[in-house]
């Protein structure tokens, strides 16, 4: 009688789940933030910014609409300074050539993790809303796109981006709606305050997304509201904001973030 050969069954090896390669990157945010200015608050209060936020909310409190602030003009105007001296040499008035830069006003969002918000709030205030990135990317009709930062270094490079990143004629540069350039190219040079000039490091840290049209979000699409303090919101002064907070929308208090930042800094110093 023939003996049957034993067949060894191969053990099935279960595939390990693929590791999320972005999981440990703290600079990648799931939330895009829209800040409600102004940077300097009237009479050291937040009343003006809170009124603006209240006005964005519909009467039925079921949606929020953001629009570019175009009361005075459709553009931000800045002065771009070209430094014609050699690196390391002194800057004189005759070495500076100035261009008028027009940047279209837009609804802006910042790609910043929550833990990094305190640094940004020092410049843009402590009032804003947070929308999940996937909500924004799925709403293609809103045309909210990442900004293209171009570290413009010379007058010759103006020709590279002509009709693509900007349009220029003479001493006037009109930027494309998704383009941002520095308007101060030399840290050693201090332009007049009314020139609104910015270094590349200043604009790049915003990690901005933007659109030049109005955008609308439902209550369900709103992830967070950022406020200096919940005590500022009362039903009689801000009825629509109060209703939003009652709907269990995520609330982040700016003071808590600043305290956490100070605590982390002290902890590192004690090590």
CA separation for the pair 166, 158 (Å, rounded): 8
In a domain, 98, yes or no: yes
In a domain, 13, yes or no: no
pLDDT of residue 74: 85
- Cis omega (within 30 of 0) for bond into 38: yes
Note the pLDDT tens digit of each residue in 156-197. 788 888 888 899 888 899 999 999 998 888 777 777 778 888
pLDDT of residue 208: 94
- Give the 3-state secondary structure of residue 159: coil
Which domain covers residue 217, as residue numbers? 31-270
* Angle of helix 254-270 versus helix 117-124 axis, rounded to 10: 130
In a domain, 25, yes or no: no
CB distance 188 to 96 below 8 Å:
no
- Which H or E run contains 107? strand 107-111
Taking Cα atoms as reference points, which of 175, 177, 92, 167 lies closest to residue 142?
177
In a domain, 1, yes or no: no
CA separation for the pair 145, 130 (Å, rounded): 16
CA separation for the pair 137, 204 (Å, rounded): 21
In a domain, 48, yes or no: yes
In a domain, 26, yes or no: no
In a domain, 4, yes or no: no
pLDDT of residue 155: 75
Instruction: Report residue 153 as tokens.
Output: 């270094």
CA separation for the pair 233, 236 (Å, rounded): 9
Instruction: Please tell me whether the overall predicted TM-score, pTM, comes out greater than 0.95 for this model.
Output: no
Instruction: Report residue 102 as tokens.
Output: 């027009």
CA separation for the pair 95, 91 (Å, rounded): 7
Total number of domains in the chain: 1
- What number of other Cβ atoms are within 10 A of residue 59's Cβ? 6
pLDDT of residue 27: 67
In a domain, 21, yes or no: no
pLDDT mean for each 10 residues of the chain (271 residues): 51 43 60 79 72 93 89 84 54 65 93 86 88 91 92 77 86 92 82 83 89 92 90 90 86 83 59 57
Taking Cα atoms as reference points, which of 153, 141, 148 lies closest to residue 177?
148
Instruction: Report residue 1 as tokens.
Output: 């009688």
pLDDT of residue 22: 41
């Amino acid at each position: 009688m023939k003996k049957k050969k034993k067949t060894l069954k191969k053990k099935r090896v279960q595939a390990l789940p693929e590791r999320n390669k972005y999981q440990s990157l703290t600079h990648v945010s799931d939330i895009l933030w829209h800040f409600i200015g102004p940077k300097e608050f009237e009479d050291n209060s937040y009343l003006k910014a809170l009124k603006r936020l209240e006005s964005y909310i519909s009467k039925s409190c079921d949606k929020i609409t953001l629009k570019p602030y175009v009361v005075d003009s459709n553009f931000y105007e800045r002065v771009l300074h070209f430094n014609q001296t050699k690196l390391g040499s002194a800057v004189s008035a005759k070495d500076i050539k100035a261009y008028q830069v027009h940047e279209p006003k837009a609804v802006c969002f910042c790609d910043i993790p929550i833990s990094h918000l305190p640094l940004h709030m020092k410049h843009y205030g402590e009032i804003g809303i947070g929308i999940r990135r996937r909500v924004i990317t799925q709403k293609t009709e809103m045309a909210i796109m990442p900004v293209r930062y171009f570290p413009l270094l010379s007058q010759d490079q103006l020709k590279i981006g002509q009709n693509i990143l900007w349009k220029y004629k003479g001493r006037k540069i009109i930027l494309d709606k998704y383009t941002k350039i520095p308007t101060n190219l030399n840290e050693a040079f201090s332009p007049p305050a009314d020139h609104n000039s910015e270094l590349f490091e200043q604009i790049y840290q915003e990690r901005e997304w933007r659109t030049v049209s109005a955008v609308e979000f439902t209550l369900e699409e709103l992830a967070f509201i950022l406020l200096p303090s919940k005590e500022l919101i009362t039903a009689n002064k801000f009825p629509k904001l109060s209703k939003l907070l009652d709907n269990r929308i995520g609330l982040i208090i700016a003071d808590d973030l600043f305290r956490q930042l100070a605590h982390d800094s002290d902890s590192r110093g004690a090590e």
